[in-house]
A = this chain, B = another copy of it.
C-alpha cells in the first residue's frame, strides 16, 4: 500500500488529528480527482451499488436503478466502468442477445469506499440539514436587511 505521494500530518492545536492531504503535485489532489471523475457523474455509483450484490443483465440493472435511468445513460455508464476495469461485461451470443454485468475485483474493492461515503453521509445528514437551514435563515435575514 505504499502511498507514494500522499502524507498525513496533524495541524497545530486542532487536536483530534485530522488528516492533511499533501502531495507533490497539488493540481492532481493526490488522485482524488480520478475517483471522483469516475464516480462523480449521475449514475456510476448506482450501478456499482446494484452490481455489488451480484450479476445483473442490462434490463434488470436498468429496472433496479429505475429511479429512471435511460438506456443511453446506462450504456454510457457501464461502458465507462468497463473501460476502467471496474465492471466486467459478458455477452452471450444468444437470440435474443443476453449481456451480463458484474463487478470485477477492482470494482468490489470500490464498494468499501462507497460504503464509507454512505456511512458518512448518513451520520452527518442531520448536521448538514441544520447547517443549510441556518445558512438560508441568515441569508433571508440579510436580504431583508439590505432591501428597502
CB of B111 within 8 A of CB of A20, answer yes
Residue A35 at the chain B interface, CB threshold 8 Å: yes
Residues of A within 8 A of B (CB): 1, 3-6, 8, 11-12, 14, 16, 18-23, 26-27, 29-36, 39-41, 45-46, 49-50, 52-54, 64, 67, 82-86, 103, 106, 108-125, 127-128, 130-132, 134-136
How many copies of this chain does one complex carry? 2
CB of A29 within 8 A of CB of B52, answer no
Dominant SS at the A interface?
helix
In the complex, chain B residues whose CB is within 8 Å of the CB of A3: 119, 122-123
CB of A121 within 8 A of CB of B34, answer yes
In the complex, chain B residues whose CB is within 8 Å of the CB of A6: 115, 118-119, 122
In the complex, chain B residues whose CB is within 8 Å of the CB of A1: 119, 123
30 contacts between A and B (CB under 8 A): A3-B122, A6-B118, A8-B115, A11-B53, A11-B54, A12-B54, A16-B108, A19-B52, A20-B52, A21-B52, A21-B111, A26-B50, A26-B64, A27-B67, A30-B118, A30-B121, A30-B122, A32-B114, A35-B121, A36-B36, A36-B45, A39-B40, A83-B131, A83-B136, A85-B132, A85-B134, A106-B127, A109-B124, A110-B120, A116-B116
